[in-house]
Amino acid sequence: MDTSRLLAGRTRKVEFSGIRKFFDMAARIKNPCDLSIGLPDYDAPEPVKDAAIAAIRAGKNRYTPSSGMPELRQRLVDQLKRATGLDRSILITSGVSGGLTLALLATMDPGDEAVFLDPYFVSYLQLVHMVGGVPRPVPSYPDFAFNPERVEAAITPRTKVLMINTPGNPTGRVMTQPEVEAAAALARKHNLVLIADEIYDKLCYDGPNPSPMALAPDHTVVLGGYGKTYGITGWRMGYAAGPAWLIEEMTKFHQYTYVCAPSMAQAATLAALDTDVSGHRRDYAAKRDLVCRLLAPRFAFERPSGGFYVFPEAPRSYPSATAFCEASLAEGVIVIPGGIFSGRDTHFRISYATTDENIHRGCEVLSRLAQR
């Protein structure tokens, strides 16, 4: 059977996640030390779980408005107005990934370009391909900084979107205030949509996460989420906040794709917003300090300020970061090669969202391999 004419051309441009390939390989290992997974190792707070159960029992199991429960949206409108002084339109999305998909559907036609830094979150490249766009990654090595001159050099008449991610995945880097101001200035100057992926904004350890919302309000859509902060990644809860002209179009596409975010999860998110998770932030700051201290003698890396990742350079005695990660995997330690997040295969991602015991065990193996 000739299936080539039955499948859309976009299927040949979109690849399966390389992270999943490593997970499949790791599944064959007994008692692995997993430093790969991008989700918190703590469970949802009890009040949040109770709120979800209560919502189910109260019959909140039907569709909500596509834009989200009015009381949740109003809570976010009020929250953002206090923070920025702006009235923003709100769409409750099925995770930040859902928000990214809707934002790109609403802004990019086939052949339009999206600019973002390399390294990048794995979905950026693939989602741009899915909507028929052209990704334009801009190298940010060695320090992963937002260099406005480099970024502006990548902008062409076909560029529609500039994407930033702070704190970043896989680097853990939090953009500085001047960098965010520069991104907003480029969006205004070139009339671009600035998509700010802020999924890790509540996991910043050295100061607040600067946001571009108030710097380019007519151009910026902020994507936030609750899965990482509250340990509810499987509930797929996020939001998009931006100007009405864009949120309205994203909501239109939401009607015909996701329909609405999960109803009981929306109800529980109201309880989550009243839940203190500062203890988790302190715990992860300590884990960040631990992994940096253990890696420092053998690896070069930029100290992360947010999220739960560090992105070291692989030892140059190995032909690539993938080769180093495969050697690590053979020793029972799972880390992710940087080529999955980048045009370069020189670094690797460690997630420290795990036990201190695993961090010690994994870093000991990685350091030993680096001496070979």
pLDDT digits (tens, 9 = 90+) for 243-300: 999 999 999 999 999 999 999 999 999 988 988 888 889 999 999 999 999 999 999 9
Look at residue 361 in the predicted model and tell me its pLDDT: 96
Please check the confidence at residue 119 and state whether its pLDDT lies above 70. yes
**Tokens standing for residue 329:** 């995997």
Tell me which of 24-28, 84-88, 187-191, 331-335 is least confident: 24-28
Strand 159-165 vs strand 113-118: parallel, antiparallel, or unpaired?
parallel
Outline which parts of the chain fall under CATH 3.90.1150.10.
10-44+277-370
**Tokens standing for residue 361:** 């065990």
Please check the confidence at residue 26 and state whether its pLDDT lies above 70. no
The predicted model gives 49-68 an average pLDDT of 93
Which residues are registered as beta bridge partners of 92?
A: 239
Q: Around 6, how many Cα atoms within 13 Å sit in the side-chain half-sphere?
A: 3
Look at residue 43 in the predicted model and tell me its pLDDT: 87
| CATH class belonging to 10-44+277-370 | alpha beta
Look at residue 41 in the predicted model and tell me its pLDDT: 84
Is pLDDT larger for residue 83 or for residue 5? Answer: 83
R_g of the chain, CA atoms, integer Å: 21
**What 3-state class would DSSP assign to 111?**
coil
* 62-272 CATH choice from 3.40.640.10, 3.50.50.60, 3.40.190.10, 3.30.420.40: 3.40.640.10
Question: What is the rounded distance in angstroms from the CA atom of residue 225 to the CA atom of residue 268?
Answer: 13
- Of the pLDDT bands very low, low, confident and very high (cuts 50, 70, 90), residue 22 is low
Look at residue 256 in the predicted model and tell me its pLDDT: 93
Look at residue 81 in the predicted model and tell me its pLDDT: 92
Residue with tokens 């409750």: 92
Outline which parts of the chain fall under CATH 3.40.640.10.
62-272
Please check the confidence at residue 32 and state whether its pLDDT lies above 90. no
What is the reported pTM? 0.93
- Of the pLDDT bands very low, low, confident and very high (cuts 50, 70, 90), residue 314 is very high
Cβ neighbourhood burial of 123 (10 Å; 0-12, 13-18, 19+):
middle
Mean pLDDT of the chain: 93
Q: Which residues neighbour 88 within 8 Å (Cβ) at sequence distance 6 or greater?
A: 77, 80, 81, 213, 217, 222, 241, 242, 243, 247
Per-residue pLDDT reduced to its tens digit, 178-209: 999 999 999 999 999 999 999 999 999 999 99
The predicted model gives 214-220 an average pLDDT of 96
Per-residue pLDDT reduced to its tens digit, 122-168: 999 999 999 999 999 999 999 999 999 999 999 999 999 999 999 99
Could you give the percent of the chain with pLDDT greater than 90?
A: 80
Burial call 196-208: b when 16+ CB within 10 Å, e when fewer: bbbbbbbbbbeee
**DSSP letter (8 states) at residue 208:** -
